[in-house]
Amino acid sequence: MNQTALSRRALIGAAGGLGLTAAIGVSGTAAAASSGQPRDVVLNTDGRYPVAPLTKESWTLGVAQCRSMPVDLNRVEASRRENLNHMIGLIDAAFAFGAGPDLLFFHEFPITGFGAGWTRKDVLKVAIEIPGAETEEIAKKARQYGIYIVFGSYARDPDWPGHALSITTMIGPDGKILARDWKARNIKGVFGGEIELFTTTIYDVLDRFVEMYGRDAILPVVQTPIGNLAMSSVQREPELFRALAMKGAEVILRTATGGFVPTDIAATSLYNSVYTAIANNAVSPGSPFFEDSNAGGSAIYGPDGEPIAIAKSPNETLVMARIPIGAFRARHRQPTIHPQLYMDVLNGYTPRFPPNLFSTYVPSDLKDAGRYLRDKGVWK
């Protein structure tokens, strides 16, 4: 791909995959797998977007702010199971006093945690498979309570041997996996050149990803009977969330671990007139980091960018809010933008790091990633 003169169609696709998931209740690689064909990008021209019929006019979103404990590399299966059991216990706790949420949303790594100094081999060792034993256990709880459950995790995929992935998964009330969405990109060039993140994102293998799953899978939207849902663990790239809103996302579920910028989350709602939730980790006693490092702040924001529910402490807690999806959808449309004013600028922009850098080499650890990427930036 020419990095200095992108066509309008290529730019729009690469910047956000401004497409519409055609399969109701399926997104990302799941959509491609169910259809057998990669999907191209299509947008409605009247401000509307495809939806599934609603089964509820209003529903409850719950954000589970929970600990993040790294799997013990000396006892991987046992400690991963301990994390899973803790997560399952919190699902039960959400219903301890009667009616719980219709959708329960966890942070980026409730099952595997994030380990200081982990190599790619370590991540692949602690990672789960989707579907797998862990998703089966979570699916049982989804069926028991009749809820959607969303969570992030390090994951392995047999279609991508050797690649350590960060996947956000959505399981429906029937226990079926509705989405398993890759992280769209990692930020590069912000760690002084000494280290870089080594998990493989869509941007890191963009051409192959599109060949396998289609452009529509880059930023998928899941059309469910409680609304159009989108998931992401990306921070500080508002264009991605604008693209999701243009595709019809009504509720955007954003995961974090180790902190986030509240303004970034609020702006997602304000600029796109959508609901946005952020799930961060809680204080985590016994982790290899300071227990309260950037913990807490999990929240749900309304379409005006104001918080409608926010964690009152950095400890483990449940944040809940009602989403009046019926009334919202009746008046909601795609964001109003004027691309003719700035498309020339976007067409002329050269990203600091090109895509596909992990297509031929996958770094072994943070330092190796820093070494490998040090001379791959095209900015001077």
CB 333 within 8 A of CB 43: no
35-53 mean pLDDT: 88
d(CA 111, CA 114): 9
pLDDT of residue 26: 44
Res. 36: pLDDT tops 80: no
Res. 188: pLDDT tops 60: yes
Q: What percent of the chain has pLDDT over 90?
A: 82
137-161 mean pLDDT: 98
* Separation of CA 69 from chain center: 19
Tokens of 230: 């989108």
d(CA 175, CA 138): 8
pLDDT digits (tens, 9 = 90+) for 328-373: 999 999 999 999 999 999 999 999 999 999 999 999 999 999 999 9
148-177 mean pLDDT: 98
Query: What's the mean per-residue pLDDT of the chain?
Result: 91
- Provide CB contacts within 8 A for 162, sequence distance 6+: 120, 124, 362
pLDDT of residue 193: 81
pLDDT digits (tens, 9 = 90+) for 227-253: 999 999 999 999 999 999 999 999 999
Q: Where are the alpha helices (DSSP H) in 105-205?
A: 120-126, 133-145
* φ, ψ at 328 (rounded to 5°): -60, -50
pLDDT of residue 308: 98
The DSSP string of 277-326 is EEE-----TTSSS-TTTT----EEE-TTS-EEEE-SSSSSEEEEEEE-HH
120-134 mean pLDDT: 98
143-165 mean pLDDT: 98
CB 275 within 8 A of CB 302: yes
Length reported for the chain? 380
- Reading phi first (left if > 0) and then psi (alpha if -120 to 50, else beta), residue 273 is in left
Residue type, 164: A
- Provide CB contacts within 8 A for 239, sequence distance 6+: 15, 16
**Structural domains of the chain, with CATH:** 8-373 (3.60.110.10)
Query: What letter would DSSP give residue 159?
Result: T
Res. 5: pLDDT tops 50: no
pLDDT digits (tens, 9 = 90+) for 25-34: 445 455 555 5
* Separation of CA 47 from chain center: 25
Q: Starting from the edge strand earliest in sequence, which strands make up the sheet with 299-301, in order?
A: 222-224, 227-232, 251-255, 275-279, 299-301, 307-310
